[in-house]
Chains A and B, each alone.
Chain A
Amino acid sequence: MLNVLLRRLLQAALTVLVVVTLVFLLFSVIPGTYASSLQADKRDVSAEVLERIETELGLNDPLPQRFGRYMAGLAQGDLGTSYATKRPVADMLAGRIWASFRLACAAILFAVCIGLPLGFFAAMRQGSWLDTATMTLAVSGLSIPAFWAGLVLMYLFSLKLHWLPTFGYGSGGLSHLILPAITLGIAPMALLARTTRAAVLETLNSDFIRTARSKGMSERRLVLRHLARNAFVLVLTTIGLQFGSMLGGSVVIEKLFAWPGVGSLLIDSVGLRDIPAVQGAILVIVLFFLLINTLVDLAYLVVDPRIRYR
């Protein structure tokens, strides 16, 4: 158990190293710097001033030197200082991580609470109108662009029905969370409904379910004790992957709903070529993904005895 955990952590650390390096290199290769983005802003900045800004930020130093400086800082937990706000990137992220995390949790909760039961009942009534309706819904949910769904929800529930606020974070209450969470959760919900349906059907056809039937138990007991857990094992990975990729996936949604999360910081910073902020935001998204995946792996150790002793 401890062994598994240690190995996972080592793998995660390696992944982070690779990602950080790639992101750093990528932003060194693409054209444009923070200074040039100021100029593109049609601000009247003279060439000397630009030159001075670039020198002050260390942008003219050779690449290995800049990379070394960045990595040295990172090793000490220093994510650098934002070019745009002159504040430490860590401070800027701190407030936003919570907002993004709340959104991701609410979205995955929505996806699981709706997707799992839908998929389950569709499978139990395979071929019925419920099955057809659920699968139609699932395909639609996967095909509809999230930002469009978000706009439609906004129009319906905010502008027409006045039930919920249009956008913004508000004072951190639930009402502002609902619409962006649903928008973000639609695609994972649809995917989970499909995966669950397939998992339940596969489990229903397995030999041990026939054995369970031959024992003479009620359908209720069959489902609760033999079917549900086995089917869930098949779905768990999908839940984890969807949850893990949610911070990255919420970039557009956060922008749409003016949600003050990591995603909207990322978009704003890319526009400004505020490289330290961009790198910080990506690091958070990657770390979140790794964390969730590690948790799912650990969850498997608990749920599936076949993995326990390997």
Chain B
Amino acid sequence: MTGTILEVRDLAISLCDGHAPVAAVEGVNFNIGRGEVFGLVGESGCGKSLCALALAGLLKSPMAISGGQILLEGRDLAPLPASEMRRLRGNKVSMIFQEPMTALNPLMTVGDQIGEMFVLHRGLTARAARVKAIEALEQVQVSSPERRIHAYPHQLSGGMRQRVMIAIALACDPALLIADEPTTALDVTIQAEIVELVLELCRAKGTAVMMISHDLGLVARICNRVAVMYAGQIVEQRSAEEIFTASAHPYTRGLIEALPRLGRRLERGQERLTEIGGVVPAIRDFPQGCRFAPRCSRVTAECRAAPVAMTELNEGGRVRCLHHV
């Protein structure tokens, strides 16, 4: 792992729907090293998918980048014109999505959909692209790929389709793969297979992975470093080992407590699984001070007074909390 492939500085994403813009994501800072596996964790609506779409230049109106920089190999993507961004997308930065059932074009053979990447970014002819598509399918361990390229998405299982998505995303050996909850919609038995496949291929190609998930366990297991997002901000960033053993933010602690573990309920005599009380505030209702304050057990008047900045921890990592553990 030498050097940084992606550096995100003070990224802000706002809802611009004609009224005053409202920041849905702000002050997001992180970097990803070459070939690193970086995890971004948070519950639904915390802004992690928005970050992913912003990195790939895929934000749709009314959402737009309203500040900060996205430096890919030192070059800022935020101000790039659409045509420049297109050349990078799929080529340098590619994405896989949550829903393999609907993410593929139902009227095109998977061979054409994979081959399209070589036509777009390598200037190959359709015939040459087909040969490359067979190779790509072989890489994602699809059996008899020369037959499968003629299949339409509806003829494949969910796991198969996600393999096809992976083949598309990694076709052009990108520097960064953004995986937005790639296993959420799959059977539990397939999930591990797909994750292993992604990691293995990316290791071979030297591709860095940004793994977005709400599954803290998964992320901690496969990633080098993990960032936890809450209500549009990163609240804690640690190495993957530490996130379980030494998490500092009350929200992260809450998430870990909430993970179901065999026998714990009995041990503690609980009726229900542990949960974090309250709900995530809506974008327009973000609190003035610490955004987690309304749900936090360690909250003081100070927390509510003003926005809380990230502080460096002595043992490495950063946390956005005045009373961190």
A residues adjacent to B (C-beta < 8 A): 206-208, 210-218, 221, 225-226, 229-230, 233, 303-306, 309
Shortest beta-carbon contacts, A-B, top 6 = A216-B89, A216-B90, A207-B102, A215-B90, A305-B152, A216-B86
Inter-chain contact total with CB atoms closer than 8 Å: 73
Are B86 and A217 interface neighbours, CB within 8 A?
A: yes
Given A215-B117, A216-B91, check contact A208 B104 (CB 8 Å): yes
Are B95 and A208 interface neighbours, CB within 8 A?
A: no
Are B103 and A208 interface neighbours, CB within 8 A?
A: yes
Among residues of B, the one whose C-beta sits closest to the C-beta of A214 is B95
Chain A residue contacts of B85, Cβ below 8 A: 216
Question: CB within 8 A of A215: which of B107, B152, B168?
Answer: B168
Complex alpha-carbon distance, A216 and B57, angstroms: 10
Distance in angstroms from A229 CB to nearest chain B CB is: 5
Are B105 and A211 interface neighbours, CB within 8 A?
A: yes
Given A216-B121, A218-B86, A305-B152, check contact A211 B97 (CB 8 Å): yes
Given A217-B86, A233-B107, A306-B152, check contact A210 B116 (CB 8 Å): no
Given A216-B87, A216-B91, A216-B120, check contact A211 B152 (CB 8 Å): no
Beyond contacts A216-B121, A217-B116, A230-B107: 17 other A-B pairs, Cβ-Cβ < 8 A, are: A208-B102, A208-B103, A208-B105, A210-B97, A213-B58, A213-B89, A214-B89, A216-B87, A216-B89, A217-B86, A217-B90, A221-B120, A226-B108, A303-B107, A304-B107, A306-B154, A309-B155
For chain B, the count of residues having a C-beta within 8 Å of the partner chain is 31
Chain B residue contacts of A212, Cβ below 8 A: 105
Complex alpha-carbon distance, A233 and B97, angstroms: 25
**Cβ of B175 under 8 Å from chain A:** no
Given A214-B90, A216-B91, A305-B154, check contact A207 B97 (CB 8 Å): yes
Are B58 and A214 interface neighbours, CB within 8 A?
A: yes
Chain B residue contacts of A303, Cβ below 8 A: 107
Complex alpha-carbon distance, A234 and B117, angstroms: 27
Complex alpha-carbon distance, A64 and B94, angstroms: 73
Q: Which B80-138 residues sit within 8 Å CB-CB of chain A?
A: 83, 85-91, 94-95, 97, 99, 102-108, 116-117, 120-121
Distance in angstroms from B161 CB to nearest chain A CB is: 11
Among residues of B, the one whose C-beta sits closest to the C-beta of A218 is B86
Among residues of B, the one whose C-beta sits closest to the C-beta of A226 is B105
Chain B residue contacts of A215, Cβ below 8 A: 89-90, 94, 116-117, 120, 168
**Cβ of B165 under 8 Å from chain A:** yes
